[in-house]
Structure 1
C-alpha cells in the first residue's frame, strides 16, 4: 500500500489532484488504521489510465461517468464502449485538425527558411 504522497510521485500528480479525483469519485482509495488514504497497484494502474484520458482532453465529467459505469459491473460494457468510441472520434478529429495546422506551419517555416537563405537585395 502507498500513501497519498507516494502515489502522487509514482503517477506524476499532486496530492491535491488525487484528493480532487477522490471527491469526484474517479478513485476510491482505502483507508489505513489511522484513516489515511492507502493506494494499491490497482489504484496506480487506474490513475495511469485516467491520466491518459485527461491527456486526450476527456472532461472530468466523462471520466467520472466511465468510472461509475465501470464500478457498476459488466452489464455496463456497451455503455462504456460507446463512451470510449465517442471519445475516440473526438481524438481522431483533433488529430485531423493538428495535421492540418502542422501542414500550414510547415509551409510557413519553409517560406521563412527560403527568405533567410536567399541573399539580401
Structure 2
C-alpha cells in the first residue's frame, strides 16, 4: 500500500490532483485506521490510465463519466467502449492536426534556412 505522497511522486502528479480525483469520484483510495489514504497497485494502474486520458485531452467530465460507468459494473461495457472509441477518434484528429502543423513548420524552416544560406 502506498501513501498519497508516494503515489504523487510515483505518478508525477500532485497530492492536490489526487485529492481532486477523489473528490470527483475518479479514484477511491481506501482509508487506514487513522483515516489516511492508501493506494494499492490497482489504484496505480487506474491512475496511469486516467493520466493518459488527461494527457490526450479527454475532458475531466468524460473521465468522470467513464469512472462512474466502470464502478457500475460490466453492464456498462458498451457505453465505456463508445466513450473510448469517441476519444480515440478525437486523438486521431489531434494527430492529423499536429502532422499538418509539423509539415507547415518544416516548410517554413526550410524557407528560412534557404534564405539564410543564400545571404551568407
The CA RMSD over aligned residues, in Å, is 0.7
2:13 maps to what in 1?
13
Separation (CA, whole Å) in 2 of partners of 1:62 and 1:91: 14
2:73 maps to what in 1?
73
Separation (CA, whole Å) in 1 of partners of 2:113 and 2:65: 48
Separation (CA, whole Å) in 1 of partners of 2:7 and 2:89: 32
Separation (CA, whole Å) in 2 of partners of 1:64 and 1:119: 56
Separation (CA, whole Å) in 2 of partners of 1:29 and 1:61: 20
Could you tell me which runs of 5 or more consecutive residues in structure 1 were left unpaired when the two chains were aligned.
none
**Aligned ranges 1:24-103 → 2 under 5 Å:** 24-103=24-103
Q: Kindly tell me the number of residue pairs found equivalent between the two proteins.
A: 120
- TM-score, structure 1 length as denominator? 0.97
Could you tell me which runs of 5 or more consecutive residues in structure 2 were left unpaired when the two chains were aligned.
none
